[in-house]
Structure 1
Amino acid sequence: MPLSLEERFFLVKEVYSHGGKYSKEVQNIFKENFGEEQLPDRHCVDALMKKFEQTGSMQDRPRSGRPSVINNEALRDVTKKLDRSPHKSLRRLSQEVGMSLTSTYRAVKKQKFFPYKVSAVHELKAQDTEKRVSFCRWFQQFIDMNGENILNDTFFTDDAWFHLSGYTNRQNSRSWATENPHEIFEKPLHDQKIGVSCAVSRSRIIGPIFFDSTVNSDRYIKNIFVPFSEQLTASEKQRTWFQQDGATTHTARATMTAVRKVFGERVISQDLWPPRSPDLTPPDFYLWGKLKDLVYADNPRSINDLKHNIRQIICRYQM
């Protein structure tokens, strides 16, 4: 049986730690770690040890001439490796199975593995479904009663963090599998970042409004809500609807007092807005993703560069 580089390294280490012998104990340990039904032949292990002692390498020498046809055993080895570790790169896989990168790629395609992209999704809980459906029904009635033009006067708001070092590169994050695993990828936050708040209606975008620290109720009112409301005309303040999610900073007593002072009862917020549902807002559903695809295109080097790019692109959206 062909041994991967990982299996070869494991065998050399275990044989040396057991007095240089391919003992029954080493065979059992190998079987526990790799689940092989057919254990490596003793002559194969002896040749591996001799090769390591003479050359210091466990890899086979590259063969000259045209590559041989990939046999069924090699295909099974590729499948086993990817099933065990679907996130490994093709280069690493080729090293482990002892084939060229080109042959490994052909084997992967022949076994019908595909490189699925990582998807970032929001958490939803079982009890959220009914609330989301209820809001959608209310919103449909809201449009039926007021007409579609009400969307010109309904501002959906949301905040997002933009990190100077970029964001999860889904283009380079792949999981090899025969069927889409629908995996969620978590990545820790970076230190250098800027907060961005925007309000989106069907007719325009208000923002970006920047913030650089954790937002509490007072900061939300002073640094985000007031700068937003000051960009509304007197006429808009009389007819505009305002949406915000149910975050504590948005629904605190002082915040709601400030919001209702401007919009009266034309507020889509706590009780009506479903929890964990930023995907129902235009900023989260479209704007943030589009912005993050564009603002990093020229690799901004400072927070000021990042702000400049965000302003420029949102200004382009307004035209």
Structure 2
Amino acid sequence: MRWTSEQRAFAVKTYFSNNHSYVAVQRAFRTHFRIKPRGLVPDQKSIVLWVENFSTTGSVVKKSSGRQRTITMQENVEAVQQSILRSPRCSACKHAFALDISNRSMCRILHEHLHFHSYKMVVVQELSPHDLQNRIMVCETLLETLPPDALVFFSDEAHFHLSGYVNKQNMRYWSGNNPRDLHERPLHSDKVTVWCALSRVGIIGPYFFRYMDMIKNFFEPALEEMHLGNVWFQQDGATAHTARASMTLLRAKFPGWLISLRGDIPWAAHSPDRTPCDFLWGYLKAEVFEHHPTNLIQLKNVIWQEVAQILVRMLERAEGNFRKWLHQCTENGGHNLQDILFKTI
């Protein structure tokens, strides 16, 4: 029940004039405000709270203990701007605390006055000068060698954690425009659990695997069922992919049409930004973890379900962008493709 200031003041006044009797307050309250016999009156807890507030603050209304609202004056706007420019990676709450203004005023200044937005950091593979040259060479070779109508199955693996994926929500950069800031980190090790092969005609997979068994017992039979004729096959340079036994098997299956480290057309290391599978894993993980699987069986079932629902037009668009990415990689000197990383195309 929300009581008015008049009702609270009457209850406090009656409490002191009736020898601190709560029952007397309730009876007088019912009579004065003409409340029906079964109508609500203040309980003892409410009366005690109003009396305590009056004794300590001189008011029957509890005053807010929080910081008062800060007016977004020009000096505050300038102070926020200078603070953000000095430390753009600090959170808005930390800036507000340091400047002694409310969080709400901080957000209002950032958005309405400075027109700043928070941008996520993007973690990418660190590239050496040798990597840059390799990426350019491979892009040029693919553009010269790969026929325009070639049907390519791009393959890759990804590790799906039951607990979800890495949360980068707190990796922000406050600025008036996107600084397109990359946070480069070395790649230590790959943890592989799920394999898929993507092409413009469909996806083969997912497969939870050992690589050799997957190629012989899953990928080859699935490919034969599709009756596609000659196809190209792409894989990255993971050790399981380029082992002697794996390469022997793949060369026999794709004679002259193997895109891989030590294949017919090389594939540069540290280049996940140039394969359509990068689109697949980003999209698939976002969809899979919306289901919040609680065990490995549920996780695998959800992966199967979401892969089956991917539309062919999405695959066609992903492969259609592949040659565009090759051209962009050669034009920017082999560096990471920021238009892809920041999703501006």
TM bucket normalised to smaller: 0.5 to 0.7
- Structure 1 residue 183, shift from structure 2 partner: 3.6
Structure-2 separation of matches of 1:188 and 1:249: 17
Structure-2 separation of matches of 1:142 and 1:184: 34
Residue by residue over 1:123-165, the C-alpha shift from the partner in whole angstroms, topping out at 9 and shown as x without a partner, is 322223333233223323334xx441x22xx211111111122
Match of 2:247 among 256, 264, 267: 256
- Are the equivalent residues in 2 in contact too, given 1:197–1:209 (CA < 8 A)? yes
- Are the equivalent residues in 2 in contact too, given 1:237–1:263 (CA < 8 A)? no
* 2:170 equivalent to 1:177: no
Aligned to 2:281: 288
Distance 1:177 1:273, change over 3 A: same
State how 1:82-97 maps to structure 2 within 5 Å: 82-97=84-99
Structure-2 separation of matches of 1:304 and 1:130: 43
- Structure 1 residue 315, shift from structure 2 partner: 0.7
Aligned to 1:240: 231
SS at match of 1:120: strand
Aligned to 2:206: 208
C-alpha RMSD of the superposition: 3.2
State how 1:44-59 maps to structure 2 within 5 Å: none
- Are the equivalent residues in 2 in contact too, given 1:163–1:194 (CA < 8 A)? no
- Structure 1 residue 233, shift from structure 2 partner: 0.9
SS at match of 1:239: coil
Residue type at the aligned position of 1:275: A
Structure 1 residues not aligned, in runs of 5+: 1-59, 212-218
Match of 2:220 among 211, 217, 229: 229
SS at match of 2:206: strand
* 2:117 equivalent to 1:114: yes
Distance 1:225 1:247, change over 3 A: farther
Decide which structure has the larger Cα Rg and report it.
2
Aligned to 1:155: 153
Deviates more, 1:202-211 or 1:270-279: 270-279
SS at match of 1:96: helix
Structure 2 residues not aligned, in runs of 5+: 1-64, 313-345
Residue by residue over 1:64-117, the C-alpha shift from the partner in whole angstroms, topping out at 9 and shown as x without a partner, is xx7434242x34543454345433332333233221122111333434532112
TM-score by structure 2 length? 0.60
Identity %: 37
- Are the equivalent residues in 1 in contact too, given 2:70–2:101 (CA < 8 A)? no
Residue type at the aligned position of 2:245: A
Aligned to 1:312: 305
- Are the equivalent residues in 1 in contact too, given 2:125–2:184 (CA < 8 A)? no
- Structure 1 residue 283, shift from structure 2 partner: 0.7
TM-score by structure 1 length? 0.65
- Are the equivalent residues in 2 in contact too, given 1:168–1:187 (CA < 8 A)? no
- Are the equivalent residues in 1 in contact too, given 2:125–2:187 (CA < 8 A)? no
SS at match of 2:118: strand
SS at match of 2:84: helix
Structure-1 separation of matches of 2:187 and 2:200: 34
Aligned to 1:168: 166
- Structure 1 residue 312, shift from structure 2 partner: 0.8
- Structure 1 residue 267, shift from structure 2 partner: 1.1
- Are the equivalent residues in 1 in contact too, given 2:125–2:186 (CA < 8 A)? no
SS at match of 2:207: strand
